[in-house]
Amino acid sequence: MASTVRIIFFGTGGSWPSPDRNVISIGLQVDSEVLLFDCGEGTQRQMMHTNMSFMKIKRIFITHYHGDHFLGLAGLIQTMTLNDRKEPLEIYGPSRTVDILTNYLSLGYYSLTFPIKLYELEGGETLDFGDYTISTLKVAHPVPTLAYAFKEKDIPRIDKKKADKYRLDSKILEKLRKEGEIIHNGKRISIEDVRGGIRIGRKIVYSGDTAPIKEMEDFARDTDILIHEATVESSLEEKANQYGHSSARQAALIAKNARVGELLLVHISPRYKNTSSIEKEAKAIFPRSRVVRDLEEVVVKVRKNQGSL
């Protein structure tokens, strides 16, 4: 389990950039690894205003190929090349990822200094990356679009008293947690001998662009943080739904039914200079809601009150 999980919002606006909000991009740092969800134009410069390094991006997850969600990719990748990146970069996205990105990333004169691996997803997958998984859900938008769920794996919690009995230091405990069983001073010790319950991994869900859908409630069930689009307020929701978008009211209803820890609203239409009406209607339904701003950082803590196995 990671010691640090934090989110930085590089862009929180929808459709096109405005003086108040860049188009959408969300960074998720898991210890020293950075995952990027969407990459609207200008994302790399937004990152440079923060302490989350663009060179540490290991995987990028694109929700869909509307410009406000991916047009920052080519610039970011060319800058990585100019900084002599060698690490492979993985990019995941919905159907047509290979076709669209192969064309888009071949624009202009530059030679990559690192390999890019492209992966196409249909929705419904769970990808295992060791300490965490990424699951996908097909959502309701006019073009193929995915929502993503990051989930840290649950790990056994150690009972200190039991561990002290065997004289296990933290390094050996970590090995025991990983391997389930070790030989220590000639004695076989199982994780069950020192287990004191379970530490539930953190979960974060990002909706992408979507009209409200029932499936999101299951997908986001009990998530610590739901980042959901709220393009407009409820007075405009009928039209927004036709275009595959949600209102703040509808996002809040999903958060409430899914019993999430916190609802963070993004993809705000550039028509709103002031977002208090959006936030107010979400809070009326789900009090732990708010509209996030560009460059805002959220540290995701491990939940307390975790039950035993």
Phi, psi at 181, each rounded to 5°: -155, 140
Instruction: Tell me which residue has its CB nearest to Zn ion.
Output: 66
| In the complex, minimum distance from the CB of residue 251 to Zn ion, in angstroms, rounded to a whole number | 14
Catalytic one among 68, 209, 224, 294?
Answer: 68
Residue number, 23 or 52, with CB nearest to Zn ion: 23
| In the complex, minimum distance from the CB of residue 3 to Zn ion, in angstroms, rounded to a whole number | 33
Phi-psi region of 144 (alpha: psi -120 to 50; beta: other; left: phi over 0): beta
Residue number, 65 or 286, with CB nearest to Zn ion: 65
Residue number, 189 or 268, with CB nearest to Zn ion: 268
Quote the tokens at residue 91: 């990019």
| In the complex, minimum distance from the CB of residue 69 to Zn ion, in angstroms, rounded to a whole number | 6
| In the complex, minimum distance from the CB of residue 60 to Zn ion, in angstroms, rounded to a whole number | 16
Residue number, 216 or 300, with CB nearest to Zn ion: 216
**Residue numbers at the binding site for Zn ion (CB under 5 A):** 14, 66, 68, 209
| In the complex, minimum distance from the CB of residue 195 to Zn ion, in angstroms, rounded to a whole number | 45
Catalytic annotation present for 68: yes
Residue number, 14 or 201, with CB nearest to Zn ion: 14
User: So which residues are the catalytic ones?
Assistant: 68
